[in-house]
Structure 1
Amino acid sequence: MKSSPSTATVLILLVLLLVVAAGFVFLFQAELRFRDHLRTLSAENESLQATQAEAELELSAAVATRDAVAADLAAAESDSLTLEGQLVESQQALDALNAEVETLRGQLADVADQQQNEPPVARIVSPLEAEALPAGQPVQIVLVAGDAAGLSALMLDVNGRRFSTYTLDGEKLYARTLNWNAPAEEGEVVLTVTATNLNDVTSAPQSTTVTLVDTEARNATIRAEVEANVIAMRGLEPTTPITPTVLTRDALRQRLENDFAAEITPEESQADVLELSAFDFLAADFDLYAAQLALQSESIGGFYDPETAEFVVVSDGALLDPAAQWTHAHEFVHALQDQHYDLEALTDEALDSEARAAVRALAEGEAELVQSLYLFDNDFFTEEEIEAIRNNTGGEEQADLLNTVPPVLINDMIFPYTAGVDFVVELYREGGFAAIDAAWANPPRSTEHILHPDRYLAGDAPQIVALAPLTATLGAGWELVDEDIMGEFYLRQYLAQQLPASAVGRAAAGWGGDRYAVYHNAAAGALVMALRLVWDTPADAQEFAAAYADYPAALLGVVATPQPDGGNCWVADEVICLAQVESESFIVRAPDEATAAAVMAAIRGN
């Protein structure tokens, strides 16, 4: 059968449509592949960009490191140049120093050569030029000589005649001390020293001219003049002649040692140590005897003994210099005091320690006042002599001694010369020597009087205070060491060991009287101290109690423990208790609480 044309057309259209559809499919698939490839390329691009960034950072770090290394290299090159310059300068300085050393060596050699050719040197160290020496007495002469080449001889001539020659063995420095018996005739003597060295070169003569005098006769004249001046100043005439006993310093020391041995036994000295240690003044093993002996023998320039009416002055044979004359004036005042006011009676052992201390302060205060008037208010000395006296402090040995002695001993020794002077000066200002005469007629009776002249003038007499015996309270093994009055001076010394100075003055003010006792148990090695204080007013007692509380707290390092009796105790290795009742204060120191309580009850009368 045969096709028609429309069917062929449709078939062609269908074929074209299929071709177009296939093209679209192909294009769509191609687009998908392109997109996948694009995404891959984008991811690779991002990775490449990250790698590039890392590379740039690494490059920047490398550049920075390169720059730093370059800078360090430049600095090192600069330092190297600087060091090279310094090295050059140091080498130049070293060369200069070497040259200087060589120059100095040459100069030293020249000096050595010159010294070998120089004459030796010889000198008289003692006696001094124009010194007055005792005629007919041994004189100590000190010679020194020196020479770089070595000494062969040392010679001394007296008035042009050879006195002695000493053969030497090449010593470059030599000193010699010898004794020369001075002639009995007064007059000038020329001492000349020379020396010869190993090169047989002799020194230039060195001479010292001294004057031989009859020192005893001249000193007697000087003393008489000093005494006449004191008599005129003080207005008191001797009732009997006063002849001094003249001792050398060594003889005075021996005299004091003998007096100590006769008056104080080792047992008594140890008892004093125990007593003072109960108040913390001394350690229990302190050598009090040696300290007191050293203090007196080194510091005393003279003394007056009321028991024997002996006026002792210290002199080593020379003429009395201004300082010795000044001391003589002081001691002569004591001789006058004794003749007019009977010092022995006023310092009798029957009196309590406070009364004796007060009279001694009056005596020393007046003697110091006269000394001051003698030095400054008259024309007895030149300005140079006054300056020499004021600068005479005793030397390094005495200063070293004072540094080794407990303060209480020093303060006790100087109290009459400090507080006593203040007391007397106050009286002198009020009424001159007439007021001092009145004080001798009515002597002060306590250190409170000396410390407070107004209370003495007001008639504020110290109260008599009793203290109950404690032997029965303490029991077997306890012995009384001493019982006495402390007084305001020692009370101040006691408090000052732990309290500030401002608190000490307030606490001790208003003292009216006291009594203390110290007991010792040798077997137990223990001490008991009991102190009863009476005050002028209850307010004074309260002020003392408030201040004293700081003493045991500081000493023992503990706080107070209140007691049933209203007091307080500070308990450590030992016990200190305080009780205050109206105008009285009670202090107990004991090895334990039970003993302290028993002693406190006994002294309070409970």
Structure 2
Amino acid sequence: MFRSKRPFCITLFLLVSCALSACENSRAASPQGPAAERWSQAHLEQVTATIQTQVEALRGEKYARPVDVEITDTRGFIEHATQRMAKLTTEAQLSAEEDVAKLLGLVPPEMDLWATTFAVLEGQVGGFYDPGNDTFYLMESFTGTLAKIILAHELTHALDDQLYDIDGTLKPLLKHRDRAAAFQAVVEGSGTAMMSQWMGAYGEPLSPAEAAQAASMGTESLSEAPPYVWKPLLASYTIGNTFLDRGYRMRKKDGLTFADVTRIAFQSPPRSTEQVLHPEKYWKESERDDPVQIELEIAPPADWKVLEESSLGELALTLMTEEPKEIDFSNPMALVFLKYTNAAARGWGGDSMVLLGSEEGRYLRVMTIWDSAKDADEFRAALEERLASWSRDVALLGEGGTVNLEPAAAAAPLAVSFSAWHGVSDAQLESLAKAVSVK
């Protein structure tokens, strides 16, 4: 459900954990020494050419052309990110995503979602590849081993882009939140897998200074942001990597290489985060589980319009139903052991979400379908547990704000539906409830 948060293929959270692991597992770290000088453009190009050759050797595939590389700073990142978001999405779509997040109770009512998102990205980004102009950008503060790790990750994105056209696949998926998140997991999973392989084959120990730099990357901005902002970003690295690794383990008996598995995932992406979270539901034909399509008939009343129609998916519903936990962000390794699904969200079959809006009001309707009545009951019970606090948050969004969890229906034991709204009169509410129905 997080289609707009990451305008680039970026190296952030997982790099920290992997880099620290490499440092801890190496035989010895380099001495502290003086602060490293920032790389020149010529040196960046030289190192890039070397790592491109190494990535080709590990992957068994060739770049079609050299990759443009540049050094940039935080201001440059923000400028590029802003321009890229403008190409991929609209202000109305960004506003709708914030509305949905707040109506689901995933973001505090007073929070500026996009300012918070950019604050997290600013503190975390080490480098980024922009598929829109086929260019890799290295943040100027990174040199030495850390910069090379970032290059290995981002140059994998460049290779995948040349082979499979990342933007060409992503753009049609952006209106489907869950499918876009699943594809982003493939993209970042590929980069993470190659980064790990590169570190094993060519990586050098981090110096104490580099380890300290990695450990301090943006932890303050993480601790100040809700999981909705940072957890899906981190998930794309971790569950994406696992998705490809498990796919390779399942399919190598058929003679497939890791590059073959990666190609399949790019050319025929998983259709949901459920398939990424549970790789057998994508890779094993006998267990293949594509999402159920809930086709809706939408007829907004006068002065109302459809602001968004999409799907949330298992990862988003996990965020809705998980218990808040304290995380020690000063310890990057703590991020490695995070969970991205739970009992309440497992067994997801499919869902449809519609956001309607008027000048003053917002109305969100979500319909879900589950694999079994037990799965539906578990999800409903989890929503009931947080209903009071969720309703209090929605009440702060505007006049009459509240949440309605629709009663269980004996005729539809696999279905769970709910609505959230504010700025809606009683008369409008009756019309809005009838405005969204299953075909």
TM range (shorter): 0.7 to 0.9
Aligned to 1:542: 377
Aligned CA distance change for structure 1 residues 246 and 384 (closer, same or farther; 3 Å)? closer
Structure 2 partner of 1:479: 305
Residue 496 of structure 1 pairs with residue 325 of structure 2: no
- Determine if contact 2:307/2:355 at 8 Å carries over to the other structure: yes
Distance in 2, matches of 1:303 and 1:129, equals: 28
> Counterpart of 1:344?
167
Aligned length: 375
Match of 2:101 among 251, 276, 300: 276
Deviation track 1:174-223 (CA, whole Å, cap 9, x = no partner) reads xxxxxxxxxxxxxxxxxxxxxxxxxxxxxxxxxxxxxxxx9443333222
Matched, 1:402 2:225: no
Q: Secondary structure at the match of 1:534?
A: strand
The residue aligned with 1:452 is: 278
Partner of 2:29: none
Distance 1:390 1:498, change over 3 A: closer
Equivalent in the alignment of 2:239: 419
Say whether 1:586 aligns with 2:417.
yes
Gaps in structure 2 of 5+ consecutive residues: 1-31, 326-337, 393-399
Residue 371 (1) aligns with residue 199 (2) = no
Query: Conserved in 1, the CA contact under 8 Å of 2:68 and 2:134?
Result: no
Output one character per residue of 1:151-180: Cα deviation in whole Å (capped at 9) or x when no partner.
xxxxxxxxxxxxxxxxxxxxxxxxxxxxxx
Q: Which amino acid aligns with 2:318?
A: R
Q: How does 1:207-218 map to 2 (within 5 A)?
A: 215-218=40-43
Counterpart of 1:528 in structure 2 is 363
* Alignment partner, residue 186 of structure 2: 362
Q: Which residue of 2 aligns with 1:233?
A: 58
C-alpha separation in 2, matches of 1:229 and 1:533: 46
- Separation in 2, partners of 1:443, 1:267: 27
Partners of 2:159 and 2:312 in 1: CA distance: 30
The structure 1 residue matched to 2:404, chosen from 576, 598, 602, is 576
CA contact under 8 A between 1:498 and 1:550: conserved in structure 2?
A: no
Cα pair 1:291 1:405 within 8 Å, conserved: yes
Where does structure 1 lack aligned partners over 5 or more consecutive residues?
A: 1-127, 135-213, 558-571
Instruction: Tell me if the contact between 1:361 and 1:417 (Cα under 8 Å) persists in the aligned partners.
Output: yes
- Distance in 2 between residues matched to 1:605 and 1:378, nearest whole Å: 53
Matched to 1:343, the amino acid is I
Query: Following TM superposition, by how much is the alpha carbon of 1:498 offset from its aligned partner in structure 2, in angstroms?
Result: 8.0
1 CA distance for matches of 2:96 and 2:352? 18
Largest Rg, 1 or 2: 1
**Partner Cα distance (1:261, 1:340) in 2:** 25
Cα contact 1:577–1:596 (8 A) shared by 2: no
Percent of pairs identical after alignment?
A: 24
Q: Which residue type is aligned with residue 406 of structure 1?
A: P
Structure 2 residue corresponding to 1:315, chosen from 137, 140, 151: 140
1:466 aligns with 2:285: no
Any idea what the Cα deviations from partners look like across 1:381-428, whole Å, max 9, x if unmatched?
Answer: 1x344x7655543527x2222222222111122221122122122224
Task: Write the deviation string for residues 305-330 of structure 1: whole angstroms up to 9, x where unpaired.
Answer: 223222222235x8x31100110010
Q: Secondary structure at the match of 2:319?
A: helix
Q: CA deviation at 1:272?
A: 2.6
SS of the residue corresponding to residue 312 of structure 1 reads: strand
Distance across 1 between alignment mates of 2:265 and 2:80: 33
Larger relative contact order (CA 8 Å, sep ≥ 6)? 2
In the TM superposition, residue 527 of structure 1 has moved relative to its aligned partner by: 2.8
How many Å separate the matches in 2 of 1:345 and 1:585? 34
Superimposed CA distance per residue, residues 422-461 of structure 1 (whole angstroms, 9 cap, x where no aligned partner)? 2122224343513333323432111111111011123211
Tell me how far apart the structure 1 counterparts of residues 180 and 219 of structure 2 sit (CA, whole Å): 28
1:279-336 Cα shifts (integer Å, max 9, x gaps): 11224442223222223333222222223222222235x8x31100110010000011
1:507 paired residue number = 344
- TM-score of the superposed pair, with normalisation by structure 1: 0.55
Residue 232 of structure 1 and its aligned partner are, at CA, apart by 1.1
Q: Is residue 2:81 matched to residue 1:256?
A: yes
Q: Over aligned residue pairs, what C-alpha RMSD do you find? A: 3.4
Between the aligned partners of 1:345 and 1:407, the Cα distance in structure 2 is: 29
TM-score of the superposed pair, with normalisation by structure 2 = 0.74
**CA deviation vs aligned residue, 1:475-497 (integer Å, no higher than 9, x gap):** x4433332211111111111226
The 8 Å contact of residues 483 and 517 in structure 1, kept in 2 or not, is answered as yes
Structure 1 contact 530–599 (Cα < 8 Å) conserved: no
| Native 8 Å contact 1:537 1:583 kept in 2 | yes
